[in-house]
A and B are shown apart, each in its own frame.
Chain A
Amino acid sequence: MIGERFITSIGAGAVRVTQEVGGIFVLTGQVLRALVPPRIDGRELVKNLYKMGNKSVPIVVLTAFFAGALMMLQAGPFVKKFGATALAGWGAGYAVLREIGPILIALMFSGRVGANNTAELSTMTVTEQLDGLRALAIDPIRFLVVPRVIAMMVMLLALTVIGDLVALLGASIIGKLMLGIDWSTLYHSFRDNLKPYDFLHGIYKSVAFGAAIAVSSCYFGVTVRGGAVGVGRAVNAAVVAAAVSIMLIDFFLTYLTG
């Protein structure tokens, strides 16, 4: 009997997930269609860029710093034990640039900007502002969603670049302070062992993450139902969807681009 309910709930959950994934793809299509020809509301775009950047820079920078530091904490002692301090920078840096940096920054971005965006859009939907736009013959997708998607993708890209550098800085500081590895060793370690492609690999991912976070965040915002409770649920769904997408995309991109 318990098994039956369990299976039913999995089935219901699967149907709901399929609906949501389908809806997200539909929204992606609408966004892409609105880009051709690109008549985007410039003011909205700038407004969103400013707002999202403002909100997210501090937290992302902090997170990146800690992420880099953590990686060094893990890689450093190991490398030191084997006397290969020259590889310390490689050990921490490689992981940071390719994986930890882009993923953690994307997760933080999703929590800070993505969730906020969903909250804003769902509040607007619940208070009929979206219908208000339609009644004025203004397409909400073109006016609201597209500028936000573009702003989020651009912002995440910029943040990943900045974050990567800060993470390397964090790793270096910890390397020096806690493990006694000096600056020049670290610098040479980074320079000799990390290739530009390692950096780019992370950047490609951040573009894909940005797209996933942006579209799912907007989707759950505009399809919200039911007042204050609905808003909370929409934000919850958006961050979970973003987290899963990030992991899945990371997996596929890693295998595809090595």
Chain B
Amino acid sequence: MTGFITSLGSAAISAYRAAIELWLVYVGTISGIVRGLQRKGARNRGEVWRQLYSIGNRSLLFIVVTLGFIGMVMTYQACLQLGRVTGDYSQVGSQFLRLIVSDFGPTLTGLMLATRVGAGIAAEIGSMKVTEQIDALRMSGVLPIDYLIVPRFVASIVMTLMLSILGGVVMWRAGGLTAEYSFNVNPNTFYDLSFVRFRHVAMFVVKALAYGAAIPVVAGFCGLRARGSSEGVGWATTAAVIGSSFAVIVLDFIISASALFLTGGDL
């Protein structure tokens, strides 16, 4: 019994330490951005563009495919169930859009990016760590966080927002096509914007930005912690995928719950 409590305790302590380190990486990233802005002719612009390309362009097809399919499936399931219970499809489109804007659009995009971008960032930074390139950076007087994580942070925030918009549109269109062809729902009925309120759009933006910020910080953190050789890189990449995905889900919950609270239970 004591053994169990000891292991629980030490797990809690190491989790606490990891959380502190993670927070430090985040703070370091923000201060890195501030430092970068203060410098005239911010020197790492090229890197930011490269990261924008790396994250955005290369995830494009991935996001379109995955969100498209999931949009079709969700609409199909919803219509199927509605057919069972009420037979009334008039609300499907508008409610689906509300859900896409307030939740599924950013969150599903975020989850997909957590996998793809999170793994990519951790793999890159992790390999650099185990081949001692990070130490080499430090020796030449460059802060790894400034050089490696800040550009990815900036790029990720921008790209997550843009890809969420794209993903949401793809989901919506795919859902509409499904409703039209499988359930004969009139497109005019489906593509109905009337239920979308400002607060939904606000939630969309907040979530997309939050996920965009969280993924590179978590992934970069895992990458910088890699130790050993190939095993270490493997571990870092795995931890990054899990960490970023979980962060997305938790942030989703926090933001949604807060929104619910603030609007007094009216979503």
Which residues of chain B come closer than 8 Å to A39, judged between CB atoms? none
Residue-wise, chain A 211-246 has the 8 Å CB interface mask toward B (1 for contact) of 000000000000000011111110110011001100
> Interface stretch among A19-27, A93-101, A150-158?
A93-101
Cross-chain pairs A/B with CB under 8 angstroms, 14 sampled: A62-B246, A63-B245, A66-B250, A70-B103, A73-B253, A74-B103, A77-B267, A228-B127, A228-B229, A236-B123, A239-B241, A243-B62, A243-B112, A244-B66
- Specify which of B73, B233, B250 is in contact with A232 (CB 8 Å cutoff): B233
Beyond A73-B257, A243-B115, A254-B77, is A231–B238 a contact (Cβ under 8 Å)?
Answer: no
- Closest chain-A Cβ to B77's Cβ sits at a distance in Å of 6
Residue-wise, chain A 57-96 has the 8 Å CB interface mask toward B (1 for contact) of 0010011001101100110011011000001001000110
Which residues of chain A come closer than 8 Å to B74, judged between CB atoms? 99
Q: Is the beta-carbon distance between A98 and B77 smaller than 8 angstroms?
A: yes
Residue-wise, chain B 49-89 has the 8 Å CB interface mask toward A (1 for contact) of 00000000000001001100110111011001100010000
Q: Which residue of B lies closest to A249 (CB)?
A: B69
Which residues of chain A come closer than 8 Å to B70, judged between CB atoms? 103, 247, 250-251
- Closest chain-A Cβ to B40's Cβ sits at a distance in Å of 30
Q: Is the beta-carbon distance between A254 and B231 smaller than 8 angstroms?
A: no
Q: Is the beta-carbon distance between A123 and B230 smaller than 8 angstroms?
A: yes
At the interface, yes or no: A206 with Cβ under 8 Å from chain B? no
At the interface, yes or no: B249 with Cβ under 8 Å from chain A? yes
Identify whether the interface residues of B are mostly helix, strand, loop, or mixed.
Answer: helix
Among all A-B residue pairs, the 10 with the closest Cβ atoms = A119-B234, A232-B123, A111-B241, A115-B238, A235-B237, A236-B119, A231-B230, A77-B267, A251-B69, A247-B66
At the interface, yes or no: B124 with Cβ under 8 Å from chain A? yes
- A99–B69 alpha-carbon span in the complex (Å): 12
Give chain B's interface residues, CB within 8 Å of chain A: 62, 65-66, 69-70, 72-74, 76-77, 80-81, 85, 95, 99, 102-103, 111-112, 115-116, 119-120, 122-124, 126-127, 130-131, 229-238, 241-242, 245-246, 249-250, 252-253, 256-257, 260, 265-267
- Specify which of A66, A99, A120, A244 is in contact with B234 (CB 8 Å cutoff): A120
Which residues of chain A come closer than 8 Å to B260, judged between CB atoms? 73, 77, 178
Which residues of chain A come closer than 8 Å to B236, judged between CB atoms? 232
Which residues of chain A come closer than 8 Å to B237, judged between CB atoms? 115, 119, 231-232, 235-236
- A193–B86 alpha-carbon span in the complex (Å): 13
- Size of interface on A: residues with Cβ below 8 Å to B: 58
- Closest chain-B Cβ to A130's Cβ sits at a distance in Å of 13
- A110–B237 alpha-carbon span in the complex (Å): 12
Q: Is the beta-carbon distance between B73 and A99 smaller than 8 angstroms?
A: yes
- A81–B73 alpha-carbon span in the complex (Å): 26
Q: Is the beta-carbon distance between B69 and A69 smaller than 8 angstroms?
A: no
- A230–B123 alpha-carbon span in the complex (Å): 9
Which residues of chain A come closer than 8 Å to B266, judged between CB atoms? 77, 81
At the interface, yes or no: A118 with Cβ under 8 Å from chain B? yes
- A231–B115 alpha-carbon span in the complex (Å): 16
At the interface, yes or no: A54 with Cβ under 8 Å from chain B? no
Central interface residue in B76, B131, B232, B241, by most chain A CB within 10 Å: B241
- A202–B9 alpha-carbon span in the complex (Å): 36
Q: Is the beta-carbon distance between A240 and B116 smaller than 8 angstroms?
A: yes
- Specify which of A74, A122, A227 is in contact with B267 (CB 8 Å cutoff): A74
Which residues of chain B come closer than 8 Å to A189, judged between CB atoms? none
- A178–B258 alpha-carbon span in the complex (Å): 11
- A229–B131 alpha-carbon span in the complex (Å): 9
- A77–B197 alpha-carbon span in the complex (Å): 15
At the interface, yes or no: A207 with Cβ under 8 Å from chain B? no
Q: Is the beta-carbon distance between A112 and B238 smaller than 8 angstroms?
A: yes
Residue-wise, chain A 110-142 has the 8 Å CB interface mask toward B (1 for contact) of 111001101110110011000000000000000
